[in-house]
Amino acid sequence: MEIQGIGAVVTGGASGLGEATARALAARGAQVAILDLGRSKGAAVAASLGGGAFFAEADVTDEAAVGSAVAEAVSRFGALHACVNCAGIGSAMRTVDKDGRPFDLRVFKKTIDVNLIGTFNVLRLAAAQMAKNAPNADGERGVIVNTASAAAFDGQIGQAAYSASKAGVVGMTLPIARDLAKLGIRVCTIAPGLFETPLLMGMPEPARQALAATIPFPPRLGRPPEFASLALEIVENAMLNGETIRLDGAVRMPPR
């Protein structure tokens, strides 16, 4: 799909991987709607993009808020062609901690709610709008890019909730791609490894260096523009569909 002129929604677009993707899309001529929480810097990021970009305050788990944001994107852009889901949260807790306390079920549910159900909530509403588009020369009406994690495949100690949520995103990628195939809507997922996100950049430098040293090549943390580059390739390459792509420098995470 040609990026110039398309309408795109990026969740979690106020920072990290989402911000890099929103900037990359805008630089290639897309009209971008940034969906993020009200306390984020989404409004400032949108203002810096120009080209009709706007910020919509929305919790991805809120059906009404996301529906309103998607409808506004269609109203402003004329159509919605791309959706990149980057919104997500982390959690770290053992199934039973050293004091014998079980994993807090509220934390588990919240992680699943945001990372898995939130992703599905956004993509289903985006897909319903994409289905109304006139197909391009290849029969395409839209593209959806989701974000999982290397933790979906080799989660570490304490990552039960996070790994389960990201594995769910991986698991639904192919069936949703099959669901939407007749509508000309493609679906892929990116599973990044260790990237320079706000969470990791808040760690002490020695800790970041230690993590980087575990990556075979390149021996450094991934950079958000590298994630954005793959997201844009997925949008453009019509044969990428139903696939989860690890973007991790060949790292395989140890137990801890």
Span 194-247, pLDDT tens digits: 998 887 777 678 877 888 889 999 999 999 999 999 999 999 999 999 999 999
The catalytically annotated residue of 162, 169, 222, 253 is: 162
Give the 3-state secondary structure of residue 32.
strand
* 116 tagged catalytic: no
**Cβ pair 82, 26 in contact under 8 A:** no
254 lies in some domain = no
Question: Taking the mean position of all CA atoms in its chain, how far away is CA 190?
Answer: 8
Rounded to two decimals, the pTM is: 0.95
2 lies in some domain = no
175 lies in some domain = yes
Please state the domain count of the chain.
Answer: 1
Give percent of the chain above pLDDT 70: 100
232 lies in some domain = yes
- HSE (side-chain half, CA atoms, 13 Å) at 173: 26
**Cβ pair 169, 189 in contact under 8 A:** yes
pLDDT at 30 over 90: yes
Average pLDDT, integer, range 164-177? 98
251 lies in some domain = no
For residue 128, the enclosing domain spans: 7-246
The whole-number pLDDT of residue 104 equals 95
19 lies in some domain = yes
pLDDT in tens, 177-196: 999 999 999 999 999 999 98
